[in-house]
Amino acid sequence: MKAAWLEEYREALHLCRLCGNCRQCGSNYMPCCPAGERFGFDEYYSRGRAVIAQNLLDDKLTWSQAVADIIYKCTMCGACVEQCPVAYKDYILKVFEALKEECVERSLMPPNVKKFFENVVFALGKGFSIKF
Amino acid sequence: MVKNRIYGLLEDIVGSDNVSNEPQALQCYSCDSTTNLPSLPDYAVIATTVEQIQRLVRLANRERIPITPVVGMSNTGGLTIPVEGGIILDLHKMNRIIEINEDIGYAIVEPGVTIGQIDVELKKRGYWVSLPVGPPGSAGLLPGYILHGYGHLGGKFGINSEQITGMEVVLPDGELVRLGGCAVSPYWFHRTPLPDLMGLILGWQGSTGIVTKLGINIYPRPRFKTMVGWGVFTTHGDPLPESCARFLINLGRADLTYDVSGHTWGAVQIGRGLKHPLPPKPEEEPELFFSATTYAFTEEELDVKKKVLENLVKEGIDSGLPIASTDVTERVKVEMPTRYALKYSDHRGGGGLDYIGSITPVINWPQGIKRLNEVFDKYGFTPYIRLSIYRGTLQGMMRAIMPYNRGNENDVEAVRKMARETVQVILDCGGLIYKAPSFACEEMWQRGDPNFLKLIREIKHTLDPNEIMNPGRLGL
């Protein structure tokens, strides 16, 4: 399946400088990424997500539940956007959104996330629906 | 995830949450912003204690598995790409500032402490250290010191490795050793007068041991800063006459500056955010911009220093040098760490950054800049050359910086060639490459004393007979 959502950001992904500045807050240099701080590996930081997204687009990495679990660990808080010193900052959250959209397209949304959305739909009532 | 025997052994050491061999985890550690080819590790491991590192190194030795340490992931020399696979050892969680000793003037840090982190902590106490110039604040402090990097106080105190007062190292056999005065004294205050064994670690690019604690000089932080700027009005074909190089040397010898740096015209435009291609340089603008930075503890001291520096520049102008004062009002406001510096990566629209840095005699900068301009011109890149004078003023950093588009194969190939030609230019100028990629080391060895290379190989073999420590480095 072609990654149509992500494909839109193929050029933008090259803008990531791979500098790792997304890891720390630029005023006090405390950790700023919730997922990165919790899980530690580079794949959880914006830098690593750019590498993952690029490799998914280039078919060097296969879409899988494990990949989706990492993608969904991002809280979309945007702290990395605040720290990014280059033009990639304008695309970071869009790339994250596209990654999640691709997971939905492939039915790779993590079960706990899916359950959460099902509960939201249930709470909102019959008039609402979300396609997973 | 396939968990093999080695995976299980790694889990036993660092816990299951701190080991991965998932492809997505490994790919993130396989590359940096340079044109060096990516290479996958087999395992990514996060260590949080010195004991874990010792056990990991012993395991790597026993099983003959390469092990490559990494901290901030901001390296620009391909130096942490695990070219022979094995274990990538992520140390960024070992980020404690262990001691700041104001009475004796040093700090002890773990390998994961960042440039910004130490600066924030020392600022509270009225101190600072020489901060690596160029990397973001999230970059590791330790690599910029043990790899002989340049700091923003280099004009006064020398290169960063000269600021090291002590270190604790896990050797390739897993033994833990202290180097410097801290091997005997409870204080990490001086690397001599004992035999200076830090030469077994400094500049070896992680191929002889893993530094787990580093002692560095701290200095009282002046309250006031000023800069004096001047431009060199010459031609692209002959940008820095020898007379101007001698002027730089004299200025540095005045012993007032913490930094004397220069940038080519194109570098300044890129720093201002201009994108490729740049318009032609207006005739009335200089080929090179220079600035001298100084600090002071009182306004009176600052006034005197600024006046002396301005007089030196005026003397240069009056003596007929092709220089004139330039406005540095905005530059003086820029504080370290220099977050703005990374913006140059956007110049060609694509995040890549390669550079070849050197320590080169200032007197040879004229031929070096001239030839580096030719290299940039040949490949259609904006000449981005940065110059800084070290303490002593007779040698300094001459660095060719090559922002490029990672998504453009032509850019990638051009930069690979430019990097190699830059190495030739620097070596022709009597310079030495620092943080040298392997291909640059090979060029140095070809030109160098064969017995030096032989000795290096013997030391490496003695310390690391199984060649597990960051293999593929130093052209060995």
- Residues of chain A in contact with residue B345, where contact means CB-CB under 8 angstroms, are 17, 19, 86
Select from B272, B249, B295 the least CA-distant residue to B127.
B295
Select from B1, B111, B139 the least CA-distant residue to B52.
B111
Burial grade of B188 (CB within 10 A; 0-12, 13-18, 19 or more): buried
What integer pLDDT is reported at residue B271 of this predicted model? Answer: 87
pLDDT tens sequence across B121-168 = 999 999 999 998 888 899 999 999 999 988 999 988 989 999 999 999
Decide if pLDDT at B393 tops 60. no
- Residues of chain B in contact with residue A13, where contact means CB-CB under 8 angstroms, are 407
pTM over 0.90: yes
Decide if pLDDT at A131 tops 70. no
pLDDT tens sequence across B228-249 = 999 999 999 999 999 999 999 8
- Residues of chain A in contact with residue B351, where contact means CB-CB under 8 angstroms, are 14-18, 86, 88
Select from B406, B397, B468, B469 the least CA-distant residue to B431.
B397
Name residue B128's beta-bridge partners.
B219
Contact: B351, A61; criterion CB under 8 Å: no
Mean pLDDT of B390-418: 88
Mean pLDDT of A76-90: 95
- Residues of chain B in contact with residue A20, where contact means CB-CB under 8 angstroms, are 72-74, 136, 138-139
Say which range, B11-20, B253-262, B330-339, has the weakest mean pLDDT.
B330-339
Count of C-beta atoms within a 10 Å radius of residue A58: 10
Contact: B342, A86; criterion CB under 8 Å: yes
Distance from CA of B60 to the nearest CA of A (A): 20
Residue with tokens 């007379």: B243
Contact B149, B139 (CB under 8 A): no
pLDDT tens sequence across B174-215 = 999 999 999 999 999 999 899 999 999 999 999 999 999 999
What integer pLDDT is reported at residue A1 of this predicted model? Answer: 75
Distance separating alpha carbons of residues B276 and B279, to the nearest angstrom: 9
pLDDT band at B341 (very low <50, low <70, confident <90, very high): low
pLDDT tens sequence across B290-306 = 999 999 999 999 999 99
pLDDT tens sequence across B20-35 = 999 999 999 999 999 9
Backbone angles phi, psi at B123, to 5 degrees: -60, -35
What integer pLDDT is reported at residue B103 of this predicted model? Answer: 97
Contact: B346, A86; criterion CB under 8 Å: yes
Decide if pLDDT at A95 tops 70. yes
Interface test with A, best of B121, B138, B402, B404 (most A CBs within 10 A): B138
CATH topology for B224-434 is Vanillyl-alcohol Oxidase; Chain A, domain 3 (3.40.462)
ipTM of this complex prediction, to 2 decimal places: 0.94
> Considering CB atoms only, which of B27, B350, B353 is closest to A52?
B27
What integer pLDDT is reported at residue A69 of this predicted model? Answer: 97
pLDDT, mean over chain A = 92
Distance separating alpha carbons of residues B104 and B284, to the nearest angstrom: 51
Decide if pLDDT at A129 tops 70. no
pLDDT, mean over chain B = 94
Q: Which residues on chain A place their C-beta less than 8 Å from a C-beta of chain B?
A: 10-11, 13-24, 26, 28-29, 39-43, 47-48, 51-52, 55, 60-62, 66-67, 70, 83, 85-88
pLDDT tens sequence across A27-74 = 889 999 999 999 999 999 999 999 999 999 999 999 999 999 999 999
Decide if pLDDT at A130 tops 80. no
- Residues of chain A in contact with residue B350, where contact means CB-CB under 8 angstroms, are 11, 14-15
Decide if pLDDT at A86 tops 70. yes
For B421, the 3-state DSSP assignment is helix
Decide if pLDDT at A132 tops 80. no
Name residue B288's beta-bridge partners.
B232, B264
For the record, the structure tokens of B409 come out as: 């194969």
Pick the CATH number of B5-90 from 2.60.60.20, 3.10.620.30, 3.40.50.720, 3.30.43.10: 3.30.43.10
Distance separating alpha carbons of residues B327 and B8, to the nearest angstrom: 61
CATH topology for B97-220 is 3.30.465
Q: Where are the domains of chain B?
A: 5-90, 97-220, 224-434, 442-475
Nearest CA in chain B to A41: B25
> Considering CB atoms only, which of A17, A22, A55 is closest to B345?
A17
Decide if pLDDT at A109 tops 80. yes
Contact: A23, B353; criterion CB under 8 Å: no
Contact: A19, B46; criterion CB under 8 Å: no
For the record, the structure tokens of A125 come out as: 């009532």
Tally C-beta pairs within 8 A across A and B.
128
Backbone angles phi, psi at B138, to 5 degrees: -85, -5
Mean pLDDT of B267-274: 90
C-alpha torsion angle, residues B155, B158, B161, B167 (rounded to 10): -110
Distance from CA of B460 to the nearest CA of A (A): 30
Select from B420, B437, B433 the least CA-distant residue to B474.
B437
Interface test with B, best of A39, A43, A63 (most B CBs within 10 A): A43
Mean pLDDT of B255-266: 92
Distance from CA of A91 to the nearest CA of B (A): 13
What integer pLDDT is reported at residue B391 of this predicted model? Answer: 73
Residue B128 host element (H or E): strand B127-128
| B157 vs A122, residue with greater confidence | B157
> Considering CB atoms only, which of B17, B28, B353 is closest to A43?
B28
Contact: B27, A61; criterion CB under 8 Å: yes
Burial grade of A57 (CB within 10 A; 0-12, 13-18, 19 or more): middle
| B397 vs B340, residue with greater confidence | B397
| A109 vs A2, residue with greater confidence | A109
